[in-house]
Structure 1
Amino acid sequence: MTGRGRRNDWRRLDEADVRVRPGRGTRPRSKLRPEHADAQAAMVVEVDRGRWTCALDLDPERAVVAMRARELGRTPIVVGDLVDLVGDTSGRPDTLARVVRVADRSSVLRRTADDNDPYERVVVANAERLLIVCSLADPPPRTGFIDRCLVAAYAGGLKPVLCLTKADLASPAVLLAAYADLEVPVLVTRHDEDPVELRNTLAHKVSALVGHSGVGKSTLVNKLVPDAERAIGAVSAVGKGRHTSVTAVALPLPGRGGWVVDTPGIRSFGLAHIQPNDIVDAFPEFMEAAEECPSNCGHRGPPEDPDCMLDVVTADGAASVGRLASLRRLLASRAGLDDYPEG
């Protein structure tokens, strides 16, 4: 064959005649992942700059620092999450385990920075109770904040408990009356008395504490966990030796078998991520009627929602007017129509 013939030979080639050498990184990745049958169960008790401190088998004396396994990608992991660990779980300084699984959450406390922020932040996972700490004086009670915390608790599957502090400075009567129809458990404490009732309420459970700065939340934590500062220091020392006050931390209740999750003082509690039906679901007597409402109903009644069916329930005597008024007050908080944050 002449040179000219060889040069034109490429015109007779098709796809089957071309062999392409695969480049780096083009091999298909296997979908198989390790089963990690030997993984150890733990609960996340602190998060600090990409490291998770975990209590093996819920034992506070067995703290292990872990990193997130590559196969989890950007899976969010927060305080209270139940996880599986592999690798070095000795807890010795400068060692790291790996979080390979995160269990489904039974409850989630979420908030947004404000009511217009679409990005929700998970504060605590798997807490059974939300202790809403509010002072009766110095600073005065802020009902807008209480209502928003109640909304977040109902929507996230937590049982709310209202804790009123500084009863030695003011009477709790007004607040007790304001929340009577919601049937929220209320505990009243004083700085000069041991919170025995509160300690019994939180025993054997995982409970999250929220409250504004100055309401006495830190005082309560120190009474519930007398060595709280030492416990926080010990948890941090397992990792990078520093505790940041901008994240939550879980502390074991001495002799009670439960955990208290101390959250930082919250400046704002946005509810942009919550829908009206999330709140109505916490009021069983109104759930069936809410299904008959128009699809865009906010359940706040006339004039905002003239076709709301919740009023029918009270008209029939199946629910109290006070319960409906309390529900709609929470719905107003969710809609940003409350007096928060000044209230």
Structure 2
Amino acid sequence: MPRYTDHDVEHYDRPRRRTRPRTKDRPAHEDAVDGMVVTVDRGRFTLLVGDTVVTAMKARPLGRKGVVVGDRVRVVGDVSGEDGALARIVEVTERSTVLRRTADDDDPVERVIVANATQLVVVTALTDPEPRPRLIDRALVAAFDAGLSPLLALTKADLADPEVLLSTYRSLGVPWVVTHRGEDRVVHGLDALRERLAGQISVLVGHSGVGKSTLVNALVPDARRETGHVNAVTGRGRHTSTSAILLPLPAEWGEQGWIVDTPGIRSFGLAHVQPEHLIEAFPDLDEMTEECPRGCTHSEDEPECGLDDALRDGVADPERVASFRRLLAARSITEY
């Protein structure tokens, strides 16, 4: 029996979908205004349009194009910022930098963490929890690959000597700042960090429990980021930041700066990083590899690498070459 009879309204033909002629012409959106993505939450985007906080959604013509924290966008619709108002993101402008990672080294899917940042701040505690140099190495590799300036922010210097960890990274030329909490529970050593953050868009990354949210609250008093504690049994911290958020630094600092607080990480896949991109971040070493055979990865087991020739000739700094090759090896080390 047919589903409908001649007496049912549903029997008659309905207009078919997509009967409207397609056109390549798209609205010019000449009335669109500029905004910056502050945070992303389940398909809704919080933007700063001037000084106004605006909630927006992605326009359909953008398709699968991702919109991430730090993106500069063009917006139409209701940008009043009033309760219940909703704007539309119609364009994502070209990104100057992209910080990305993969979940694992064999994962082909890249995950963009933040766009248009200028500096990557690797936050690590000197103890409680213990530093994880391999995870730090991987974060530095991601920074060099993305064209970001790296910075080490060492916390809890009141509990351990920073020199032990700093000796590992000094040859790379990575700058650092050291902070600690006094008996008054106030974070000390922030002046040097403020100088490094002023005028920059800085992404703070680090595994849980290193004091990242504590630093954010000290730098931006009204941020009110939740802080956690370190499990005494596992030595691991508890995730307190659940999504990345862009925060403006206080205006009294002078030149406008921003920080991006990110959730604590436990892995930093580098499947997207190629050796030739990594060595470009070290111009002095890159120059020594001009005569390397095609496809040379510049690792220790390469038979004709220019770095080995430079070491034999006394041109290269052995500690710097060793540090670079340690970063190179970090791409394939899965335990950290």
Instruction: Name the TM-score, length of structure 1 as normaliser.
Output: 0.83
Deviation larger for 326-335 or 24-33 = 24-33
1:168 touches 1:190 (CA, 8 Å); kept in 2?
A: yes
* Equivalent in the alignment of 1:30: 23
Partner of 2:316: 319
Structure 1 residue 224 and structure 2 residue 231: aligned? no
Cα offsets for 1:104-123 (capped at 9, x unmatched): 11111111111121111111
What is the aligned counterpart of 1:113 among 103, 109, 120?
103
Larger of the two Rg values belongs to structure: 1
Quote how far apart the aligned CAs of 1:140 are.
1.3
Aligned equivalent of 1:267: 266
- Higher mean Cα deviation, 209-218 or 287-296? 287-296
What's the counterpart of residue 45 of structure 2? 52
- 8 Å contact 1:289–1:309 — kept in the other structure? yes
Structure 2 partner of 1:8: none
Task: Note if contact 2:207-2:266 (Cα within 8 Å) is conserved in structure 1.
Answer: yes
Query: Which residue of structure 2 lines up, in the alignment, with residue 297 of structure 1?
Result: 296
Matches within 5 A, 1:1-343: 25=18, 28-57=21-50, 59=51, 62-192=52-182, 193-229=188-224, 245-255=241-251, 256=253, 257-302=256-301, 305-336=302-333, 340-341=335-336
Post-superposition Cα deviations, 1:209-260, rounded to whole Å, max 9, x if no partner, equal 00111111111011001111289xxxxxxxxxxxx94320011111232111
Question: CA deviation digits over 1:155-202, x for unaligned, max 9?
Answer: 011100001110100111111211111000010111222511111210
What is the distance in 2 between the residues matched to 1:34 and 1:220? 44
Q: Does structure 2 retain, via aligned residues, the 8 Å contact 1:116–1:272?
A: yes
Counterpart-to-counterpart distance in 2, 1:50 and 1:276: 35
- Gaps of at least 5 residues in structure 1 are 1-21, 232-243
SS at the partner of 2:160?
coil
Shift of residue 327 of structure 1? 0.7
Q: Distance in 2 between matches of 1:83 and 1:49?
A: 18
Measure, in 1, the Cα distance between the counterparts of 2:124 and 2:39.
25
Question: Would the alpha carbon gap of residues 315 and 33 (structure 1) be closer, same or farther in structure 2, given more than 3 Å must change?
Answer: farther
C-alpha deviation, 1:295, in angstroms: 3.5
Shift of the 85–318 alpha-carbon distance from structure 1 to 2, 3 Å rule, reads farther
Does the 8 Å contact 1:194/1:223 carry over to 2?
no
Kept after mapping to 2: 8 A contact 1:79/1:124 = yes
SS class of match (2:170): coil
Contact kept, 8 Å, 1:129 with 1:161, in 2: the verdict is: yes
Cα distance, 1:279–1:230 mapped onto 2, change above 3 Å: closer
Q: Is the 8 A contact 1:276 1:334 kept in 2?
A: no
Do 1:135 and 1:216's aligned partners in 2 also have CA atoms closer than 8 Å?
A: yes
TM-score normalised per structure 2: 0.85
C-alpha separation between the residues in 2 aligned to 1:290 and 1:99? 45
Instruction: After superposition, give the CA deviation of every residue in 1:257-281 in whole Å (9 maximum; x if it has no partner).
Output: 2111000010111111111112111
Q: Which amino acid aligns with 2:69?
A: V
Aligned pair count? 301
Q: Is the 8 A contact 1:280 1:290 kept in 2?
A: no
Contact 2:307–2:316 (CA under 8 A) maintained in structure 1: no
Question: Are residues 194 and 321 of structure 1, via their aligned partners in 2, closer, same or farther at CA, if it must alter by over 3 Å?
Answer: closer
Counterparts of 1:230 and 1:279 in 2: how far apart (Å)? 34
Give the aligned residue type for 1:329: R
Distance 2:134 2:153 in 1: 15
Conserved? CA contact 2:178–2:189, under 8 Å = no
Are the aligned partners of 2:217 and 2:225 in contact in 1 as well (CA < 8 Å)? no
Q: Give the direction of change, closer, same or farther, for the CA distance of 1:190–1:26 in structure 2 (3 Å limit).
A: same
